[in-house]
Every structure is written in structure tokens, then in C-alpha cells.
Structure 1
Amino acid sequence: MTLGRRGSFFTAAAVAGLALWASGAPTVVYPLYAAEWNVPPTVTTAIFAIYPLVLVPVLIVFGNLSDVIGRRAVILMGLGALGLGSIAFGIAPDLTWVFIGRALMGVGVGLALSPATAAMVEFGGADGASRAGSATTAATATGLALSTILGGLFVQYAPAPMHLSFWVLTGVTVGVAAFTAALPRHTRDEASGPWRPRLPRMPRTERRPFVAGTLGITAAYAMGAIFLALGAQIARELVRSDNAFVDGAIIALSAIVIGVVAIVFRRMPPRTAVSIGPPLAVAGLGLLIVAGAAHSLPAFIAASIVAGAGYSLMFAGGLGLITTTAPTHERAAVISAAYVVAYLVQALAALGLGALATASGLQLALEIGAPVILLLGVAALVVANLGRRAPVAVTPGLGGAAS
């Protein structure tokens, strides 16, 4: 059986969603690791950071592989590594297995995410670039929401709280792989040439939209590091919530807002989205700082909602600016270049926040780290609007160019 265009589009979207599910899967389990193995925030954020640190070299070496051998083959390789990573988490008796599982997840997402994004553009029809941006954002938001809601549910109420959610992730990965195997075969693009490891690249033209888009994605991912690496510990230690399901649901609320905003504003021009997103991110992280200082659960909920809206606009708008300017035969390589920067900064943000939290406490880490991260969003806003009178070739839509 071979999937049609519509089925192929949604299968590629499911792969993107699975990537964020894997990214967020350990989020609500980090406090358990801290309690079980007596580890500080430096270690728990290092568990988070090993994922993008492994993912980046995979993107650098294999970012253009699917442009040559096909989207389906590379996505399946990625899902295989992702499944092995979730199994390692599922049986992990100690931190060593946790780090191995996280590294394998990084390999899997590094292989699968760029070709999945490119496939969505190609199977999306005449307005594929526009649909891919908003659908990728919505799919990744869904994956993240499922990871934290189900993770919180299992941690709070199910047996084997440190392991069960990862076996569920393994099962979902197998299911998505079955649909991926039914994607249409790749028709080789002769312009790609024979495959060889090649650095991800900026497009030869329209570099300003690429830079602005990359800054928008990077700001979103760096902000996401706060919620994914430290969100559950912020809820427990600063907001003083002791229910893992509630904590996971609040973090998931941010993801739900990301998806809703991506769908509702999918026709917003990418440059407008990148311009509106940073002020919302500023407000959201400001509310998070207030939540920690005042031990306020309502402020934490408000921070998740507002920051989620900012993330959605920065990510989808940034991805929109990039995909509409990327040459077809280099699309995955160009998308990979943006992801390399975003994931590398995300890893550095997580490690920096963890070091600050260990040395000076979570609250000070938020007060110092959040403004630094927000500078990236402001830079995206500025670059996107430089020389505004010059036309930018974008398809109208929030993701007019392609978490």
C-alpha cells in the first residue's frame, strides 16, 4: 500500500509531532531522577541538553541525505534510533542508560525532522510551504502536549512512573514507522548530485529572510528549554505544586496554545508573525519570573499560555520565512541549517540555566537567563523588518516558509 498525498502529508506531520514528544518525554520525570539518584539541576538539564548536542552533528553530517536518497528512507532510520532511545529510557536502571537513551533520541530526531518538514512542503499541494509551517507547529505542539500530559498522568497515578511513559512512546513510534513505510518512493532529483556529507547551508539568495527565520526558531527553542528542562522543577520548587499530573498539564497548556495559535493564524504573513511573537515571549517569561517569585500557580498558568503564543508565532513565522526561499533540491539542507543553530542554542541555554540553578537557585536562573534568551527574539524582529520596502518572496500564511 502506498499513501496518497493527503495521507503522506499527515504522516510527515506525525513524525514532526513524535520528535517533540521525544523531546518532552522526560520533562515530568526529571524531578524523579533528582529524588531517586540525588542529582542537582546541572545533571537534569544535562540530560535534556545531550539531546540537542547529539542532534546537531547528525544534522550537520546528514542534513542533506534525504534530498538524495529520499524522505522515507531517512525518516525510517530516524524512527529506528528514536525507538531504541525510548526503549533505553524504558529499562533505565541508572543515569548511564538515561544518557544513552537521550543521545539515541537526538540521533533519531536529527535524522527524521528535516526530511519530515520537507516532505510536508512537497505533499502539501500548491500552498505546501504555507501549510507545512502551521501544520509542523501544530503537530509538534500536539506531540509536546501528549508527552507532558501522559507523562504527568503516569508519574502521578500509574505503576513504574520512571519508565511507563517511555514504553508508550515506543509503541507510538512503531505505529508511525508503519505509516512512514507506506510513503511514496522518492524520485531522485538530479540537481542534488551523489550524496556526500555536506554542511547545512543558507540559501544563495534571500539570506535576510533565512537569518530572521533562524533567529525566530532559535528564540522559540531556547525559550522552550526553560519549560522542558526546568518546567517541572519550577512547578515543584518555586510554585510549590506537588502533583505531577497538574504540573504536566500546565506545561502541556503551553503546547496546546502553540498549536491553536498556529492553526488560527496560519494565514498571517511569516514576517508579521516573527514581529508579534517576541513581545508575547517577553510577557510570558516575565509572568514565569513573577510566578516563581510569588509562588503563584495562576501566574504559572498565565505564563504557559502567553509564552506558548509567543513560541508559536516565532517558530511558525521563522520556519515560514525559510522554506519559501529554499531551493527545492536543497530544501532539507537549508532547513537543517536553521535547526542546527536552534538546537545548539537550546542546548547551551539548558546547560547555562542548569548551572545557574545549581549555583544560585532556580529563581535567579530565570531572572538572568530569560532576558538573554529574549534577545534572540528581538533580533529576529529587527532583522525581519530591515529594508521592509524590499519585497520578500513568501507565501501568505503563518508558516509560509517552515517545534
Structure 2
Amino acid sequence: MTTAGRAPQTLGLAVVLLTVMVGTTMPTALYTHYEREFGFSVLTVTVVYAVYAVGVIAALVAFGTWSDVLGRRPVLGLGLAFAAVSDAVFLLADDTAVLLIARVISGLSAGVFVGTASVATIEMAQGRWSARAPLLASLATIGGLGTGPVLAAVLVTLAPHPLRTTYAVHLILVVVAALIVAVVPETRPRRPGPLRPLSPAVPETVRDFFVRAAILGFAGFAVMGLFTALAPTIAAQVAGVESVLGQSGLVVTVMGGSLVGQLLGRRLSERGADAGAVGAMLAGMVLLVAALLTGWWPVLAAAGLTGGAGQGIAFARGLAGIATGAPPDLKASTTSAYFVVTYVAISVPVVAEGMLTRAVGVTTAGIVFAAVVAALVAVAGALALRAHRRVAA
């Protein structure tokens, strides 16, 4: 197939990745409705969010190596099947227990999908698209995460039955995505071998880079997790933002910042990208503290944009370096290992934040969170600086 012929398939896989990720964040715009329907507390919101990440991690560990053996398309089909089942369970959810099941299945869809789809997008690209494919995959991932709350907020505002219509729309999108997967060519032929769980081992060729990328990625995704899970609560209780669209807009600031960071990070050297990621995330945490103390929503939005920009730089550089540096037969498993780190970051700190919020309130808990993330970012920055000095010497 020619380079020009590969372009539509590359874009198609990116669209499929975006579609699956949209479904994982749509519930964010519905949390206030669930609070009224099911009597949610802040801690419940964080638990509902975290069980999604548990599903992601479980799928990454169980299925993270499968596409290196079966090929990419069968595993993409499995991920889409999980996404469709998740939408169906959401449509039937009438209490918190069923909602938790739906979130776990949604996490399984993302866990099966995100590493394999990212690698498939990169492998599909040829010619001038090859250099752009890692960025395209990371933009699709973060773009989907950002689109989910906005699409759900619009449907909540304009469509009837918000707790049902949202998932019906996404189910239709999943069907379209399945049709795309059915027609794109395979990028990794099936090969003999057992279907083993993901091994924590990382190839020697990318190990040093992986460690640095994982630490910085952990900090960045912790920030993203905070905004995705708790920005509506912070907006309502601290900044006085009551509308669903306004709350979702504040959630999306971190995604928008991430998209900008990914685009900027592509033009930076490795050293410049590390410095930019560390500086932006530290500035974002300072702004988050200021927003919590002042209650000004524009400062909260600036915190999301700035912190998200740092996360985007770190994520794009990390994903590109790992996906392109790993050996061909270990690309999916190594990429999946990176996503395990990021989804632990999305879940564990957010649950801790929810528990702390219950004990000391939103403002104090948010300040503690910002301080911990800033310390982690500083450690990651010190490790990156030491690595760059070692290379220079």
C-alpha cells in the first residue's frame, strides 16, 4: 500500500481511539445528576472514577501483550466489545452498584484499547506520517478524554433523559468505530506464542528513558485525574460554578492544555521538553492553590490549562520515545506498561484526595494534593537533569 493510501487508515485508527476514550469520560458531566439520583458523596464520585482505572489496569495487565501475538485488529475488536457492553450497562444502571460495574467494564475497554490502538496507529503510518503518528495517537487519546465531558454536557443540556441518551449516542459511535476496524489492514501479523499477562519488565533499550517518562507521566496524570474526577465538585463548592456546561468546561481545561502541550512538545528537544513539562506542572499547582484560596474560577481554569500543558508535553514525549524505541515484538507490551503507570496515577491519588476531602474539606485537601504533586514533579525534574548531564558528559 502506498504512503498516500495509508493516510486514511492511520487517521481512521486515531478516530477509533478517540471514540473509545470519549466514552471513558462522559460520566464526568453526569456526576451531579448521579448525586441527585443515587445520593452520591464526593468520596463516592472518586470511587466511581477509580474503579474505572482499576478496570484499565486489569485489562492492561491481562491483555497488554495479546496484540503482539494475535495481531492488532482482534484486540481492538475486543476493546470495542467491552465499550459497547459498558454503554449497555450504563443504559440500564439504576443504582450505584450497577454504575460501578459499568465503570469497570468501561475501564476494561480503555485498557484493552489504548496501548494497542496507539501502537497500531504508529505502525500504520508511512512516509511523512511516520513522524506524526506518535503525536496523532497521543492527541487522539487526550482529545477523546476531553471531548467526553463536553459531548455529555451538551446532551445533558439539550437532550431528554440525560442518564440514558448520552450512552445511546456513544453506543452508535462505537458501532461506527467497529466498522472502521473491520476495514483497516492488520499492522502486526499473528505469530505463534502463548497469551501471557503483561510482564513488568521493560526492554533494556528504553529502560532509562521509561523510568524518567513514567515518573513525570505519573505526576501529570495525577493532575489530569484530579480535574477529571473532582473539578465539577471544586467548581461548585469553591468557585460557585453551578451549570453542567461550566463545570465540564473547567474539566476540559486540563485536556485543552494537554493538547497544546503535546503540539509544543513535539518541537522541543528532549531536554527542553523535560524542562517545559516540569515548569508547567509546577506553575499549574501554584495556580491550583491560588484558585482554592480565592475561589476564582478563571484561576482554576488557568491551573488546568497550565498543568495540562505540562502533562501533555510529558505524555507525548514519553509515548513517542517508548513506542518507537521498544523492539517490534515488545511494542504493545511496553506501551501498555507505560499506561499502567499513568492509570495508577489517575486512580490512587484521586481516591486519596476524595478521602482527604471528606476529612478536612475540598480546599485543604486540594492544597495537600498540589503540594504532593509539586514534590513529585520536582523529583522527576531532578532525575531528568541528572540524566541529561550524564549524556552530556
TM-score (norm 2): 0.92
**Partner residue in 2 for 1:286:** 286
1:4-83 to 2 correspondences below 5 Å = 4-83=5-84
- Quick check: 1:257 aligned with 2:254? no
**Partner residue in 2 for 1:125:** 126
**Partner residue in 2 for 1:302:** 302
Deviation, structure 1 residue 7: 2.1
Question: 127-136 vs 347-356, which deviates more?
Answer: 127-136
**Partner residue in 2 for 1:341:** 341
RMSD: 2.4
Is the Cα–Cα contact under 8 Å of residues 203 and 210 in structure 1 kept in the other structure?
no
Is the Cα–Cα contact under 8 Å of residues 212 and 380 in structure 1 kept in the other structure?
yes
Is the Cα–Cα contact under 8 Å of residues 156 and 243 in structure 1 kept in the other structure?
no
Q: Which amino acid aligns with 2:69?
A: V
Tell me, what secondary structure is at the counterpart of 1:10?
Answer: helix
**Partner residue in 2 for 1:102:** 103
**Partner residue in 1 for 2:138:** 137
Question: 233-242 vs 11-20, which deviates more?
Answer: 11-20
Is the Cα–Cα contact under 8 Å of residues 88 and 101 in structure 1 kept in the other structure?
yes
Deviation, structure 1 residue 208: 1.1
Is the Cα–Cα contact under 8 Å of residues 142 and 258 in structure 2 kept in the other structure?
yes
CA 1:126–1:295: 2 relative to 1, 3 Å: same
1:4-403 to 2 correspondences below 5 Å = 4-125=5-126, 130-188=131-189, 193-388=193-388
Q: What is the distance in 2 between the residues matched to 1:15 and 1:382? A: 37
Is the Cα–Cα contact under 8 Å of residues 261 and 311 in structure 2 kept in the other structure?
no
Is the Cα–Cα contact under 8 Å of residues 261 and 310 in structure 2 kept in the other structure?
no
CA 1:75–1:239: 2 relative to 1, 3 Å: same
Is the Cα–Cα contact under 8 Å of residues 291 and 299 in structure 1 kept in the other structure?
yes
Tell me, what secondary structure is at the counterpart of 2:242?
Answer: coil
Q: Which amino acid aligns with 1:48?
A: Y
Q: Which amino acid aligns with 1:306?
A: T
Could you tell me the percent identity over the aligned residues? 28
Consecutive unaligned residues in structure 2, runs of 5 or more: none
Q: Which amino acid aligns with 1:346?
A: I
Q: What is the distance in 1 between the residues matched to 2:287 and 2:158? A: 30
Q: What is the distance in 2 between the residues matched to 1:179 and 1:189? A: 20
Q: Which has the higher contact order (CA 8 A, sep 6+)?
A: 1
Is the Cα–Cα contact under 8 Å of residues 288 and 370 in structure 2 kept in the other structure?
no
CA 1:375–1:4: 2 relative to 1, 3 Å: farther
Question: 121-130 vs 74-83, which deviates more?
Answer: 121-130
Q: What are the Cα deviations for residues 41-92 of structure 1, in whole angstroms up to 9, with x where unaligned?
A: 1111000000111211221121110011111110110011011112222231
Question: 222-231 vs 178-187, which deviates more?
Answer: 178-187
Deviation, structure 1 residue 130: 4.3
Is the Cα–Cα contact under 8 Å of residues 262 and 316 in structure 1 kept in the other structure?
yes
Deviation, structure 1 residue 277: 0.9
Q: What are the Cα deviations for residues 124-179 of structure 1, in whole angstroms up to 9, with x where unaligned?
A: 22576742332123212321232121222233343222232222221111111110
Deviation, structure 1 residue 310: 1.4
Question: 358-367 vs 148-157, which deviates more?
Answer: 148-157
Q: Which amino acid aligns with 1:76?
A: G
CA 1:178–1:138: 2 relative to 1, 3 Å: same
Tell me, what secondary structure is at the counterpart of 1:216?
Answer: helix
Deviation, structure 1 residue 189: 6.5
Deviation, structure 1 residue 374: 3.1
Q: What is the distance in 1 between the residues matched to 2:243 and 2:96? A: 24
Deviation, structure 1 residue 391: 5.2
CA 1:88–1:297: 2 relative to 1, 3 Å: same
Deviation, structure 1 residue 389: 5.0
Deviation, structure 1 residue 232: 0.8
Q: What is the distance in 1 between the residues matched to 2:267 and 2:230? A: 33
Q: What are the Cα deviations for residues 206-263 of structure 1, in whole angstroms up to 9, with x where unaligned?
A: 3110111112222221111111110111111111111111221232233223223323
Q: Which amino acid aligns with 1:281?
A: M
Q: What is the distance in 2 between the residues matched to 1:321 and 1:271? A: 13
Higher helix share: 2
TM-score (norm 1): 0.90
CA 1:232–1:96: 2 relative to 1, 3 Å: same
Q: Which amino acid aligns with 1:248?
A: S
CA 1:23–1:112: 2 relative to 1, 3 Å: same
CA 1:189–1:181: 2 relative to 1, 3 Å: closer
